[in-house]
Amino acid sequence: MSSSTQSVPDAEDAEPDQSLAGVHASVTVDRPVDDVWRHLISSRGTEALLGRGVSLGSKGESWHSDDGPHGVVRSWHPMEQIRVSWHPHVDGPLSIVDLQLKPEGDGTRVDLYHEGEGIAEDGAGHKHRWDDALGRFSTSIDG
């Protein structure tokens, strides 16, 4: 897979752009969407996904992990989606992490799309990162 020269889309409601380099990870949580949403925006849920020390504010507010990743909340749609810009470190390339919640049976499917610059070079590493993060997220909802 080669790097894309396209820029990361600014449209807050756009679907993930499949032409951009990226990864997709998902997990189904045995809880209704409103429970999963509350966990997603809680410090425990946010830290499980984005890193220790992260607290998400509303659209336009910045976030920062104690481990270095940081960005800005780009889109906030209660019970449906949160999209944040993602920089792995101070000099890291810009990408977008898009979290989407969808009812699935009695549970909720959480889809995570990570797209943009720098993803193609380490797609497997990014996929592993997000699979682990979703695993932490789904187990932390009960604990």
Band of pLDDT at residue 143, cut at 50, 70 and 90? low
Name the pLDDT band for 137 (thresholds 50, 70, 90): very high
pTM, to two decimals: 0.80
What is the arithmetic mean of pLDDT over 52-80? 94
- The arithmetic mean of pLDDT across residues 121-129, rounded, is 68
Nearest to 119 by CA among 14, 19, 10: 19
Instruction: Note whether 87 and 71 are within 8 A (CB).
Output: yes
Per DSSP bridges, beta strands 62-64 and 81-86 are unpaired
Q: What is the mean pLDDT of residues 107-123?
A: 80
Mean pLDDT of 33-38: 97
Taking only the tens place, the pLDDT of each residue in 43-65 is 999 999 999 999 998 999 999 99
Domains recognised in the chain with CATH numbers: 22-140 (3.30.530.20)
DSSP 74-121: EEEETTTEEEEEEBSSTTPPPEEEEEEEEEETTEEEEEEEEEETTTGG
Mean pLDDT value across residues 112-131: 75
Express each pLDDT in 83-105 by its tens digit. Answer: 999 988 888 788 999 999 999 99
